[in-house]
Amino acid sequence: MSDIRTILLVMAMHDEAKSIIESLGLKLQKKHNSKLPTETFSGKYNDKQIWLQLNGKCPRFGVDNIGTDASVLNVYTGIENHNPDLILNAGTAGGFARANAKVGDIYLSYPYVYHHDRRINIPGFTEYGIGKYTCYPCLDIAKKLGVKAGVVSTGNSLDHTPLDLEIIEQYNGEVKEMEAAAIAWVANIFGIPFLAIKAITDIVDGSETTEDEFLKNLNYASKILGEKTIELIEVL
């Protein structure tokens, strides 16, 4: 039997999580005295306890909280409340034509996740800014599931500047998204293994604008994300 009995599944957008919540029959938990917008769903799947936590909605702007800040609060409360054996971050992301990515492709994070938008040109802080957090060894699992494995690059913007692209290439990034490295930072502090699974909604170095391509493909990619996340949980 696997050592992984309890999984904290950290996700940003409700639309990304909908199919997983439905397929696994996860139930929304009552809130205990917290002003944090985080929403917790839970259930058992095979021999594993699953805690799925969403960042929840921003009370001020009424949209899903996305990006690094909300994800850090989310994973921290999840760790404190549920003491997971593994932290899994599932979400959507941009892929790269130069790496042969297609919309709907699934990637597992490997061998590391890092930040591309934390440039601090002071000795010691440069590496701190980039992060480079090692991920759960998943190459055999990726092969088994028929999905890709690649370096995941995190930043707080959906679009990108030329400098973002330069840094992403410099660190061999194949997947661009907005949460993984921040969640991995917290996982690393607590010594809990971390893995990200990402579904591609848009091609960063393609011809369409990111926001149009993202919105067009969000439901399609989220459905595949849900299916592959469940397959992943089955083999962990």
List residues near ligand ADE by CB under 6 A: 92-94, 158, 176-178, 201-202, 204, 210, 214
- Residue closer to ligand ADE by CB (options 68, 210) is 210
Q: Closest approach of Cβ 104 to ligand ADE, in Å?
A: 13
- Residue closer to ligand ADE by CB (options 171, 190) is 171
Please say whether the beta carbons of 171 and 195 come within 8 A. no
Residue 202 bears catalytic tag: yes
Q: Closest approach of Cβ 23 to ligand ADE, in Å?
A: 22
Catalytic residue, from 164, 174, 177, 202: name it. 202
Q: What is the rounded distance in angstroms from the CA atom of residue 39 to the CA atom of residue 48?
A: 20
Q: What is the rounded distance in angstroms from the CA atom of residue 121 to the CA atom of residue 224?
A: 39
Strand ranges, E, within 46-105: 48-54, 86-95
- Residue closer to ligand ADE by CB (options 192, 204) is 204
Q: Closest approach of Cβ 170 to ligand ADE, in Å?
A: 17
Q: Which amino acid is at 176?
A: K
Residue 16 bears catalytic tag: yes
* Cβ count within 10 A of residue 154: 30
- Residue closer to ligand ADE by CB (options 73, 165) is 165
Q: Closest approach of Cβ 193 to ligand ADE, in Å?
A: 23
Catalytic residue, from 3, 16, 177, 234: name it. 16
Length of the chain: 236
Q: What is the rounded distance in angstroms from the CA atom of residue 183 to the CA atom of residue 71?
A: 6
Radius of gyration of the chain (CA): 17
Residues taking part in catalysis:
16, 202
